[in-house]
Structures are given as structure tokens and as C-alpha cells.
Structure 1
Amino acid sequence: MKDYLRRHIWILSKLYENPKGLTYKEFEYEWGRTELNSLKTPLPKRTFADCLRAIEEAFDIQISSDVRNGYRYRIVNREWLEKDNVKDWLLSAFAVNGLLQDSKGLRDRVMYETIPYGNGHLLKILECMKKNQVVNLLYQDFFDDEPCEILLEPYFVRVFHQRWYVIGVMLNAPEGEEPEERTKQGRIRRYALDRVHRIFATEDTFKMPRGFTVDSYFADAFGIIVEPEVLKAERIRIKATDINHRRDYLRKLPIHWSQREVENHSDYSIFEVTVMPTYDFIQHILSMSSEVEVLSPNYVREEVVRWVKEIAKIYGLKTLDF
């Protein structure tokens, strides 16, 4: 079984790293040279074909080989896959893993961004999401003295800043909340899996709202915080300077999918994003220090200024009234 999985991952990694494809002979030659194939076993064409079919089914991809392509096997729906963030992430992760397995010398030269806590609950959450089962969480936030039980309809999961979160409708209202407020509208909450003590599936099930997706839920969010009852999405103008090439970094890694460069000057650019100005967004702006400046709207700019003044106090600096 171990060799079976290794062979599949190896073939997948070769398909992923070679967009133009490889012929069967090239696969066969490379398989004979890889460190994974320590016993130097052959790669029969029938076995190769079985692997391709299994990879197609497991990853929902299309692999073809025709005479016009020189009988090269390649992923034909690659562009579509690159638009599907989850599938593209899974494929690239497996491809990198295959390459690391293929070359032992690389294992001590590659570092992943680890997620230190919460991974153990992720598979259970995903299994409950698959069956639309209500889950019971024993959850303790940082500001709570004791853990509490939460009944949750798990809609989505998301990783953000090295934490897994589960997002869904909380069915039992917090202590002290009035009964008339205990409705599903506005009851969508997020829970970090690193703060979950235990989780189990209940016998109750739920129905996902039609057309409600993780992308639509987070469309106006910078990160994990979504507070439509508190903040609305704003068109925020940001000035990015050439200090440390900040505007080049923003061009390559936008703050948000809505980001547009609306002005380009010799030493700075103006970018616009349409996003909720939540706590995590403000913190991200502050992380770029003097390299960026929020121009508008004014209340967002004032919130950044408030934080700058708080930071100045911590360091014993005098601030101007601005």
C-alpha cells in the first residue's frame, strides 16, 4: 500500500510540474531513476494507466494523451483547476510532497508554515460537514474563564494566520442573550479549532442555504472577521510608497481580491480595495508601517491613527494632534 500511494503521488507530481505533459516512455525512464523506486521496479503501461484513472477520480482532474500532443499525458483542465483554490492547493501540496519524497536531499531544505494547534479536530469537522451534521463543541475563548458547550451547524472551514476556523450557525444563544435574538439571522459565528477542547457529532442534521458558499460569505472580508451587522464594505484608498518596494509587493500579493491600482506616480501608487475595515484589516495595514497610508474614508484613517497613538504611548513617544 505504501509503494502504491508513493507511485500515485509521484505520477501526480510529474503531471503537475510539467504543464506540457510527458510521454509514457518519459514517465517510465524517470520512474527508473527516482529515489522513491529503490527496488528499481518497472512501470508497466497497464499499471500506469490504472494510476492515471485513480488520480483522475481522487482529484477530479482530466488527464489526456493524443497524437496532436505527441502522446504526452497532461492535465487538460489545468486552467479551471487553478481557479478552484482548494483543488489547486491540494494538488500543489501533493506535488511538492512527491518531489520531496523523490529527492531525500531536499527534505532538510524546505520549510512549511506550520499550523501548531487544531489539526486534530479538522477531519472530524469535515466529516460532519460532509453529512450536514450538527456538532457539539466544548469551546473556551481566551477571555473566558471556563469552557462552554456550543451547538453548531458547520458551514465552512478556513485557515487564516496559522489557525483553522470553523464557521457556522450557532444554535444555542450565549448566556444573557434575549430569546427574541436567538434567530439564525446574524447567528453565524467563527470558532478557532485551537480553542476547542473536544468535539462530537450529534444526531441532528441541517440543510445548507442554497447558493451560500465560503467565497460569497468572505467576499467583502479581508481575513477571518465578518461583521455585516457592525461594519459594511467600504471603498478604501491606500497610498503605497516605494519604500522597501511596498507597492511592488502589493502588486504581486494584493490585500484583497478587489484591489485595483488607480494611480501610478514616480514614487508611490494609490490602490483601492472594497472591504470591511475590520480589526484584522487594520492590523494588516499597521504591519506595513510607514510604507502605506490610508487616505479614505476618514473614519478608517482615524482608526489607524488611534492605533498609531496607542503604539507611541507604549514606547513613551510624544504624538502630535493629527
Structure 2
Amino acid sequence: MAREDSIGRIYLIVKRLRSNYASFEEIRDYLGSVACYESSDYHISLRTFQRDCKLISKVYKIEIEYDPHVKGYRIISDNDSVLNQRMLEAYDIFNALNLAEQLSNHIHFEDRRPQGTENLYGILHAITNAKLIKFGYQKFWDDSPTNRCVEPYALKEFKNRWYILAKDRGDNRIKSFALDRLTDFEVANEEFSYPSNFNINQHYQSCFGIISPDGHQPEEVILSFDAHQGKYIKTLPLHHSQEVLVDNEEELVIKLQIYITFDFKMEILSYGDNVRVVKPQSFIDDIKQTYRNALKQYKTES
């Protein structure tokens, strides 16, 4: 059986059992129904299914066992990590892309430039082996790229763009570089000492976006959203520290413990008059001044 069919079959087994327990016959019928529109061969025997369950346990850390009480298989231990979610999500997108040519009138893709993902493998290799990487990097406001030599620490995704967090050998500062702006990428032979106290999750613990704090401390931010926008904020929190203070028919008030960076400010401005900053005063003043400056763009000459 083709490797692609095996990968797809494993994904579908996990997807089916996450919704509810099922007998082998129900799983087999489910695979058959999906295979009809994916043009794949998902036919399996009980022995193959049991082998798949062992592979799912090894790769995804998801334990599947037969439960005699319900006469079916169920997930008894589910590693529902971000990595697992993204791997399964990627397979959904892969299948959609395979169908895109047949369904060109029904799928509309965002018109955007490549994300620079062609360098992901090389960057991960450099991080894993603690090797320097070199590349040309062009900021939006620069006319030409500059050559960089950096110590790669981690990769980060933000708003559908990938960034590498690295220490620039030029000034020894930790910076983020967008992958879609890298040119002439190469992994150098020279190695570096990875800092034992660096952890990307801790680095971005109180951040929004990719801008790192520069000597400042996280602040308590309180925001008031109108009730309609509040529904979205509850289902897609702004930050993991989000705490609901008020939730009624008129407003949603939340509290965050976060660095007030340019990224965060732009996010708040994107909500327009659907949000009001309640605290801190310095952030209120900053938002007010931004709106005053924006209004000046629309004043007509007398």
C-alpha cells in the first residue's frame, strides 16, 4: 500500500476516534467513505488496523485500545499538543490542495508571497546541531540586503509568517528575522554554544507577536470590548494570560499581563471602536495620540 495512503489512513483513524468510540467495522466503513472522494486506497484488515494503532502510539503519543464495554475502540490517552494539532491540520490542507485543481471555482486562496519555508529544514538542522547560519536580509525600509551571521535558537510562527529567533553575531543581540526576507541562505561549518538558559516559550511568555521586550516589564492591561466583538475574543483569546473580568450583554472586559509592544498596539488598533483601553493610562494616552494623528490625515484645508 502506498505510503501516502498509510499516512492518510492513520490521520483519519485519529480523527474518527476523537469524535467518538467506534467498532472496527465502523472505522473501516468510515475510511471507505472518505476514500471515495480522495481517490485513495484506505481498505484495511483488522491486523493492519492494529498495526496502525501501534504506530499512532509511537508517532503521535495517542493510545488507542479496545473497550469491551462499548464493543469498540476508543482513545484512552490523547496527546493533544500544538505540534500534533498542526500535523493533523497540515494533512487537511494537503488534501484540500490536491483537490484544488478539480474545485478551482470553489476554493479561493489568499494571494501572497512565499513564506520562505524552503529554508525550514536547513534552519532546523542548524538549530539541532548548533551551527551558525549566514544569509542576506533586507528590511522593508532598506534599499538593499545586509549580510548576517547568526546563532539560530528557535523558529516562531506569527500571523501565517515564519520567523527565526537568533543572536546576531554583528551586535550580539537576539533578534527575529522573517524567513520570507532571507536570501543566499547557508549553514556554516562553524558551531556555537547554545545558551543553556534559553527557552523560546519563556522568551515569548508575556509577548504578543514577534517583537521581544527590551528591558521593560510586562504590564497589566485591561480592555473593554463591545458584546459582539467580545464573543470572538472569548473564542480566540488575545494572549494566554487573558482573564475575563466582566461578561454581560453590553461588554466583555478582560485583563492581560503582557508587554505593550508595537505588535500589540497594532492589534488593538485593528479593532477600531469595538475596543476601549481601560488600563494602563500610558497605553490609553498612546492610543489616543495615534487616533489624533490619524484624524489629521482627513482634515481639509480651509
Runs of at least 5 residues in structure 2 that lack an aligned partner in the other structure: none
Q: Residue in 2 aligned with 1:177? A: none
**Deviation string for 1:297-321 (max 9, x for gaps)?**
1111111112111211222279xxx
Q: For residues 180-191 of structure 1, what are the structure 2 equivalents within 5 Å?
A: 182=172, 187-191=173-177
Displacement of 1:221 in angstroms is 0.4
- For these two proteins, the number of residue pairs brought into alignment is 298
Displacement of 1:274 in angstroms is 0.9
Contact 2:53 2:63 in 1 (8 A): no
**Deviation string for 1:280-311 (max 9, x for gaps)?**
11111111001111122111111111211121
> 1:251 & 1:91 partners in 2: Cα distance?
24
Give the SS at the match of 2:294.
helix
Displacement of 1:164 in angstroms is 0.8
Q: Residue in 2 aligned with 1:212? A: 198
> 1:294 & 1:235 partners in 2: Cα distance?
11
Contact 1:115 1:163 in 2 (8 A): no
Give the SS at the match of 2:36.
coil
Specify whether residues 115 and 21 from structure 1 end up closer, same or farther in structure 2 by C-alpha distance, changes over 3 A only.
Answer: farther
Q: Residue in 2 aligned with 1:45? A: 46
> 2:56 & 2:96 partners in 1: Cα distance?
17
Q: Residue in 2 aligned with 1:195? A: 181
Q: Residue in 2 aligned with 1:85? A: 82
Contact 1:160 1:223 in 2 (8 A): yes
> 1:258 & 1:271 partners in 2: Cα distance?
10
> 1:56 & 1:232 partners in 2: Cα distance?
42
Moved more, 196-205 or 281-290: 196-205
1:122 to 120, 123, 126: 120
Q: For residues 86-125 of structure 1, what are the structure 2 equivalents within 5 Å?
A: 86-95=83-92, 97=94, 109=106, 116-125=114-123
> 1:87 & 1:214 partners in 2: Cα distance?
19
Greater share of strand: 2
> 1:273 & 1:210 partners in 2: Cα distance?
29
Q: Residue in 2 aligned with 1:178? A: none
> 2:261 & 2:40 partners in 1: Cα distance?
56
Displacement of 1:68 in angstroms is 4.1
**Deviation string for 1:142-170 (max 9, x for gaps)?**
22232222122211111212311000212
> 1:295 & 1:148 partners in 2: Cα distance?
42
Give the SS at the match of 1:226.
coil
What letter matches 1:239 in structure 2? S
Q: Residue in 1 aligned with 2:23? A: 23
Contact 1:10 1:98 in 2 (8 A): no
> 1:41 & 1:145 partners in 2: Cα distance?
53
TM-score (norm 1): 0.80
Specify whether residues 133 and 36 from structure 1 end up closer, same or farther in structure 2 by C-alpha distance, changes over 3 A only.
Answer: farther
Specify whether residues 167 and 32 from structure 1 end up closer, same or farther in structure 2 by C-alpha distance, changes over 3 A only.
Answer: same
Contact 2:230 2:251 in 1 (8 A): yes
> 1:39 & 1:276 partners in 2: Cα distance?
48
Q: Residue in 2 aligned with 1:283? A: 266
2:220 paired with 1:235: yes
Q: Percent of aligned positions with the same letter in both sequences?
A: 23
Relative contact order (C-alpha < 8 Å, sep 6+): which is higher? 1
2:126 paired with 1:140: no
Q: For residues 160-179 of structure 1, what are the structure 2 equivalents within 5 Å?
A: 160-173=158-171
What letter matches 2:196 in structure 1? R
> 1:136 & 1:92 partners in 2: Cα distance?
32
Displacement of 1:76 in angstroms is 3.1
Specify whether residues 39 and 306 from structure 1 end up closer, same or farther in structure 2 by C-alpha distance, changes over 3 A only.
Answer: closer
2:292 to 309, 312, 318: 309
What letter matches 2:203 in structure 1? Y
Displacement of 1:22 in angstroms is 2.9
